[in-house]
């Protein structure tokens, strides 16, 4: 099968490409001319079972490039997104995450061969779940937004669902907080926090532990995407989430896995927010995006807990435990010299 993946060099995208290649699919990776291709197999190399990788260059805002890339493809995985809690120019979120999706959908409409689109949305598009666990029926209340990224993904989600209602063959998937082996990017927040924790730059718990997120191992999310291609019902939404836990619990599990002491104090959220404002000021001077920003703090003041039962039943999705996933992550970070314990 001829498959196209946008965002192919991203944290999730490159692993999805490799899995598709191993399944024997011909994969066309849609990448920017400036993308680092080191995580992808060489152009034209098969994935071990007959699949071959082809590169198509462009940007999701470059409609003619998308149209050329989609030619002859039967399945499109739209994984590309701008994932950050804060940017100095928030309009970029809407240009890439909303405008890019519009271009992808229009290109699919004009490409006669496309039979299915798997769109990677975000749990943020469903909104916070303070005090309960939500499923795919949840609708974002739109009373507030913690980040502009969250708002952009909600707007994109509406576009995707309307396209499905109009008959476009689309399946929407919603990963949780993705973590696991791979590049330490904004899309791999767990690894970034573990690096800060075990290098002494994050000595305490962040907040009181009332936050809650749904953590998804990247390989489980890849499995969910592949299953959505094979089994996902057109027009349906699937949460590819995992264990719901606070970052306090994450730090406790990390301490158990590494046989190290747990943090002995909690860093108040007001202090974290103050640090975030200072980080933004420094970011505007240095051009380097901050690890912590006020929108990050706003997000941590809420719960984002979800059920993946529908994906389990319909897609055979089977997420691993947080402890199992953390054991792998911490071991890899240690072996690569990024942390010591």
Strands 243-245 and 212-217, sheet pairing: antiparallel
Q: What is the mean pLDDT of the chain?
A: 94
Does 290 reside within a domain?
no
Does 110 reside within a domain?
yes
Does 7 reside within a domain?
yes
37-51, 55-69, 187-201, 289-303: the lowest-pLDDT one: 37-51
SS3 140: coil
Q: Euclidean distance between the first and final Cα of the chain, in Å?
A: 45
Specify the number of domains making up the chain.
1
Q: Which two tokens stand for residue 328?
A: 């792998």
Match 């959505």 to its residue by tokens.
228
Q: In CATH, what number is assigned to the domain containing residue 314? A: 3.40.50.720
User: Of 82, 52, 93, 54, which Cα lies nearest the Cα of 70?
Assistant: 54
DSSP tag of 13? H
Band (pLDDT 50/70/90 cuts) for residue 184 is: confident
Q: Is 42 exposed, middle or buried (0-12, 13-18, 19+ CB in 10 A)?
A: exposed
Whether the CB-CB separation of 175 and 215 falls below 8 Å is answered with: no
Whether the CB-CB separation of 20 and 44 falls below 8 Å is answered with: no
Does 263 reside within a domain?
no
100-114, 170-184, 299-313: the lowest-pLDDT one: 170-184
Does 175 reside within a domain?
yes
2 vs 236: CA distance, rounded Å: 23
What is the C-alpha radius of gyration for the chain, rounded to an integer number of angstroms?
A: 20
Average pLDDT over residues 318-322: 97
Residue 20 has pLDDT above 90, yes or no: yes
Whether the CB-CB separation of 35 and 55 falls below 8 Å is answered with: no
332 vs 218: CA distance, rounded Å: 14
pLDDT of residue 340: 92
Q: Which two tokens stand for residue 250?
A: 């994450």
Q: Which two tokens stand for residue 116?
A: 């299915």
Does 264 reside within a domain?
no
Does 22 reside within a domain?
yes
Residue 209 has pLDDT above 80, yes or no: yes
Q: Which two tokens stand for residue 268?
A: 């108040």
What sign does the CA torsion over 326, 330, 331, 333 have? positive
Q: Which two tokens stand for residue 86?
A: 């804060």
| The model's pTM | 0.94
Residue 123 has pLDDT above 80, yes or no: yes
Q: Is 34 exposed, middle or buried (0-12, 13-18, 19+ CB in 10 A)?
A: exposed
307 vs 309: CA distance, rounded Å: 6
Average pLDDT over residues 207-220: 94
Residue-number span of the structural domain to which 44 is assigned: 2-186+215-242+305-319
Residue 44 has pLDDT above 90, yes or no: no
Whether the CB-CB separation of 155 and 124 falls below 8 Å is answered with: no
Sequence-distant (≥ 6) Cβ neighbours of residue 104 within 8 angstroms: 6, 60, 66, 76, 78, 117, 119
3-state helix, strand, coil in the chain (%, to 5): 40, 15, 40
Residue 131 has pLDDT above 50, yes or no: yes
Does 65 reside within a domain?
yes
Entry field: residues in the chain: 341
4 vs 71: CA distance, rounded Å: 10
Match 């926090």 to its residue by tokens.
193
Give 233-244 pLDDT, tens digit per residue. Answer: 999 999 999 999
């Amino acid at each position: 099968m001829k498959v196209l993946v946008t965002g192919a060099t991203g944290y999730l995208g490159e692993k999805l490409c490799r899995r598709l290649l191993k399944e024997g699919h011909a994969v066309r990776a849609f990448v920017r001319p400036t993308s680092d291709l080191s995580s992808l197999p060489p152009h034209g190399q098969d994935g071990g079972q007959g699949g071959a990788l082809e590169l198509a260059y462009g940007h999701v805002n470059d409609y003619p490039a998308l149209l050329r890339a989609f030619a002859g493809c039967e399945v499109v995985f739209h994984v590309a997104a701008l994932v950050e809690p804060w940017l100095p120019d928030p309009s970029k979120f809407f240009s890439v995450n909303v405008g890019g999706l519009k271009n992808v959908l229009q290109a699919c409409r004009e490409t006669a061969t496309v039979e299915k689109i798997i769109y990677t949305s975000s749990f943020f598009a469903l909104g916070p779940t303070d005090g309960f666990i939500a499923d795919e029926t949840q609708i974002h209340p739109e009373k507030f937004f913690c980040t502009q990224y969250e708002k952009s993904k909600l707007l994109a989600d509406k576009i995707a669902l309307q396209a499905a209602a109009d008959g476009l063959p689309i399946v929407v998937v919603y990963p949780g907080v993705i973590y696991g082996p791979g590049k330490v990017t904004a899309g791999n927040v767990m690894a970034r926090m573990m690096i800060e924790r075990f290098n002494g730059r994050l000595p305490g718990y962040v907040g009181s532990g009332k936050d809650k997120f749904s953590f998804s191992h990247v390989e489980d999310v890849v499995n969910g995407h592949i299953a959505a291609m094979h089994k996902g019902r057109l027009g349906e939404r699937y949460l590819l989430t995992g264990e719901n836990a606070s970052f306090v619990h994450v730090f406790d599990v990390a301490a158990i896995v590494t046989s190290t002491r747990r943090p002995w104090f909690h860093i108040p959220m007001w202090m974290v927010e103050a640090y975030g404002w200072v980080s933004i000021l420094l970011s505007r001077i240095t051009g380097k995006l901050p690890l912590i920003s006020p929108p990050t703090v706003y997000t941590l003041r809420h719960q984002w807990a979800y059920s993946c039962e529908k994906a389990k039943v319909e897609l055979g999705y089977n997420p691993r435990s947080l402890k199992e996933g953390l054991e792998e992550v911490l071991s890899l970070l240690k072996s690569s010299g990024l942390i010591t314990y």
